[in-house]
Chains A and B, each alone.
Chain A
Amino acid sequence: MATTVQPPKIEERRRPNRPSTDSGNGGGRNSVPAEGNLRAVKEHAPPPASTGIWVGLAAIGMTFLALTSALVVRKGSALDWRHFTLPSILYFNTLLLLASSVTLEVARRQVAGFMGGSRGKDANPARWLYVTLAFGLMFVAGQYIAWRQLSAQGLYLATNPSSSFFYVLTAAHALHVFGGLGGLIRVIHKLKQLTLRRSTLDATSRYWHFMDVLWIYLLWLLWAKL
């Protein structure tokens, strides 16, 4: 008799009635959220935030790659590219941003300790998050000063393609840093409400470190091309 079926070899090997815990690589639903209270901080948050943040960072990375290729093509397309010296405050801003990444890591350890219950009740795990927030705000303020210094030299958005790209790239980065600041405020808020999930904190810090790496890349690009 003619069979109209693809032989379900996979099913035979996998024994369909096997307990469901290892039947295929199901997604995050295999990790059951712990109901333990650990100061109401959930240790086992569902992992989507940690996957999602990489997906989001890929999209942001793609945007800046597009702008980079635009810069390279535009620079090569005509002879009107004027070089200028980057405002030195940018290097100071870089240090600020690097420092903010360090303080965020300190904060992450503090919060982890808080979640693990190893610190006393009076520990204020949000302290280093505030420091990070302050560094981040100082970075954006520093970028603003850099823009003011450039415009004082007569270099505006439309003055030259080099200055156009400087403003576009730094402004796009600053906007994303603002997003990170919003994320930090959200983390602080959730920490105070005792509803913070580990994955939210991890995702936020990955985003923040990415802003750091992205800025160093942009600084190199601007330094090399402008």
Chain B
Amino acid sequence: MHDMSHVAHHAPPTSFIRKHVFSIDHKVIGKQYYGLALAAVLIGMFLSWLMRIHLGWTNFAIPGLHWLSANGAPGDVMTPEYYLQLMTMHGTIMVFFVLTTAPFAAFGNYFLPIQVGAEDMPFPHFNMMSFWVTFVAFLVMVASFFTADGPTLGGWTQYAPLSAVGAVSGPGQGMGVVLWAASIAIFCVGQLFGSLNFITTTLDMRTKGMSLWRLPLSTWGWFITSIMGLTAFAVLMPACILLILDHVAGTSFFVASNLVLNDQLQPHSGGSTLLWQHLFWFFGHPEVYIAILPAMGIVSHVLVANMRRPMLSHRVLVYSMGALAVLSYMVYGHHMFVSGMNPISSIAFSFPTLIITIPSTIIVLIWLGSLYGSRLRINTASLFALGMISMFISGGVSGFFLAQPSLDIMLHATYFVVGHFHLVMAVAAIFGIFSGTYFWFPKMYGRMMNETIGKIHFWLTFVGAYCIFMPFHYLGLAGNIRRYQAFVDDYLQPLIPVHRFITVAALATGAAQLLFLYNLIHSRFWGEPAPDNPWEATSLEWSTPTTPPPYDNFGGKLPVVYHDPYQYGIEGSTGDYVMQTSPEQIKTVGDEA
């Protein structure tokens, strides 16, 4: 029997409220985050459908749309302002409430403490608050749909000065922006609580024998991300508060002098519009790595278990993820190449932007090199992991173009950028979420997901995502400007069929997600019972005494770790792998020859 150390732990709660609602159990909180992300992604996807229909068929009446907004869709036809409001909310909801919550907060909460061998996070009440604060942030954001003139239309970046002057700059720019900024500030608080727990758990709660280099790659992804979250959200929060003050208290942080909007001189003076952009993008660029790093970790973790051998270099992969995190703070200015920055600043930001492709490329090469010649077990989780790599490469390649100011000035305001960031950050992260879901669902719910439906879901989503986002690059190169609600210029007319193709692809790919929802719900209740270790994987989440894990994860005894996380392809007593908790001596296959 493994050497176990006893640990005292508080008794599990018995009431429904403490068990499922205001729970301090990291596993419940992880599932709550997943549920929130699922609700948010459905809303975000629905908004994108409405936008795509409008872009393909501009005057098409979407039946029932006036129920959503009487002002925004009189006669069920979307107004230009309403299109922008939907676009803003799509971006905001997806970036904050899906791409940050699902791969980082949901899976991280559930699996980080288990993978380090802890019975819970060190500050479980902060952890509970982290979720509920985020939930309140989501409610505040959604509430803006129900204000008189709807949510803000300023884009998820909320550039000043139009975001800071109030209703004079358009519908939703009054109360809508205040709700937006309040929601994001609240969201930041929630993520700071979460990051605090993640960092402290990784540093302090590791079980005996779990040195830093014995942490699985998924834990490394969450750990590095939490450090970024701590520094990025701590900057966005005060920025949002300053924005609210410009709105409600008449300060002039972001609004310049003598600004005339709709023939009205704005009562502000001397503010700096670039200041908002600096504060926002200092958060905003790390944010895209906050979305993608956990996905990188999850995908690496899933691939290793299915390749049955470790990555070419575990350490270089971790160092590269760390390099991405550090560099992500030094490149944020590349979002501002066309904002009127000093050209020397552009060069200063362009250089690290090109440099950051090096760790990204190293990570990709490690993935590809490790996959090469491996007998990969094909299942839905590993397929989605491959899909994530594919999306990351496809979207990453266009990043080389955009990193250079001379090209970015041409492409910045076109669909090329839309295609780039959707593939490299959004879809890649979503594929990481899918991969993690199919991989860990058996541990989270004790039942297997349906593999056949899963594989169909993968292929439809994989092909669909490319059908949606590759044409965006073409549109961008053809000069199709982005953020426009309709394309009336002559030179854009030949591109309308491309837009219609994208719309059809978006509707179909979205519909394919119903398969996933069905699989998720059906498997949750009627799926085949899962064994404790269905993938024959080695890390600690697969050595819990029960599936799903008990309240304290390891049944009152913390595990002791003897090995690196990925001891595959070796002769162990259980097969071709040795669990991290197994005290047995490791022999390589080659030793016998």
Contact = CB atoms under 8 A, between A and B. Distances in A.
A81 to B, nearest CB: 8
A117 interface: no
B564 A48 contact: no
B578 to A, nearest CB: 9
B249 A66 contact: no
A100 B378 CA distance: 64
Nearest to A58: B230
A137 interface: no
Nearest to A33: B8
Given A24-B214, A27-B116, A10 B238 contact: no
Interface in A1-58: 1-8, 10-11, 16-17, 19-21, 23-30, 32-33, 46-49, 51-52, 55-56, 58
B199 interface: yes
Contacts of A27: 116, 118, 203-207, 210
A47 B278 CA distance: 37
Interface string B352-384: 000000000000000000000000000000000
Interface string A55-89: 11011101101110110011001111100000000
B500 interface: no
B528 interface: no
Interface string B266-278: 0001111011001
A161 interface: yes
B231 A59 contact: yes
Contacts of A164: 245, 251-253
B271 A77 contact: yes
Nearest to A6: B310
B234 A59 contact: yes
A79 B587 CA distance: 73
A168 interface: yes
B99 to A, nearest CB: 21
A20 B3 contact: yes
Contacts of B209: 20, 23-24, 26
* Interface size class of chain B, counting residues whose CB lies under 8 Å from the partner chain: 35 or more
Interface string B83-104: 0000000000000000000000
A23 B561 contact: yes
A140 to B, nearest CB: 19
A30 B562 contact: no
Nearest to B210: A26
A23 B560 contact: yes
A48 B560 contact: no
Contact of A29 (B242, B558, B589): B558
A73 B234 CA distance: 18
Contact of A23 (B118, B122, B251, B562): B562
A164 B564 CA distance: 54
B204 A48 contact: yes
A52 B122 contact: yes
A60 B250 CA distance: 26
A5 B590 CA distance: 8
B10 to A, nearest CB: 13
A28 B259 CA distance: 57
Contact of B567 (A8, A49, A55): A8
B250 A66 contact: no
A157 B3 contact: no
A67 B270 CA distance: 17
Contact of A16 (B195, B563, B588): B563
Chain B CB within 10 Å — which of A5, A46, A78 has the most? A5
Contact of B208 (A11, A21, A51, A74): A21
A123 interface: no
B585 A16 contact: yes
B309 interface: yes
A222 to B, nearest CB: 16
Nearest to A52: B200
B42 to A, nearest CB: 32
A172 interface: yes
A77 B160 CA distance: 14
A47 to B, nearest CB: 6
Chain A CB within 10 Å — which of B8, B562, B563 has the most? B562
* Interface size class of chain A, counting residues whose CB lies under 8 Å from the partner chain: 35 or more
Contacts of A21: 208
Contacts of A26: 117, 206-211, 561
Contacts of B122: 46, 48-49, 52
Contacts of B212: 25
B430 interface: no
B495 interface: no
A16 B562 contact: yes
A74 B588 contact: no
A145 B116 CA distance: 50
Nearest to A171: B241
B252 A29 contact: no
A158 interface: yes
B367 to A, nearest CB: 16
A29 B271 contact: no
A20 B208 contact: yes
A168 B270 contact: no
Interface string B60-101: 000000000000000000000000000000000000000000
A30 B5 CA distance: 10
A168 B250 CA distance: 13
B73 to A, nearest CB: 37
Interface string B240-259: 01100100011111001100
Contacts of A8: 563-564, 567, 570, 586, 588
B178 interface: no
A66 B238 contact: yes
A48 B126 CA distance: 13
B308 interface: yes
Contacts of B233: 59
B375 to A, nearest CB: 9
A53 to B, nearest CB: 9
Nearest to A61: B234
A165 to B, nearest CB: 9
Interface string B15-49: 00000000000000000000000000000000000
Contact of A70 (B238, B568, B593): B238
Given A1-B590, A16-B585, A20-B209, A63 B270 contact: no
A21 B561 CA distance: 11
B204 A7 contact: no
15 contacts: A8-B570, A11-B563, A16-B586, A25-B212, A26-B117, A51-B199, A52-B200, A63-B234, A73-B272, A73-B275, A74-B275, A80-B257, A157-B250, A157-B251, A161-B271
Top-3 shortest CB links A-B? A78-B270, A24-B211, A48-B122
Interface of A: 1-8, 10-11, 16-17, 19-21, 23-30, 32-33, 46-49, 51-52, 55-56, 58-60, 62-63, 65-67, 69-70, 73-74, 77-81, 157-158, 161, 164, 168, 172
Given A24-B211, A29-B208, 4 more contacts: A16-B562, A16-B584, A55-B196, A78-B256
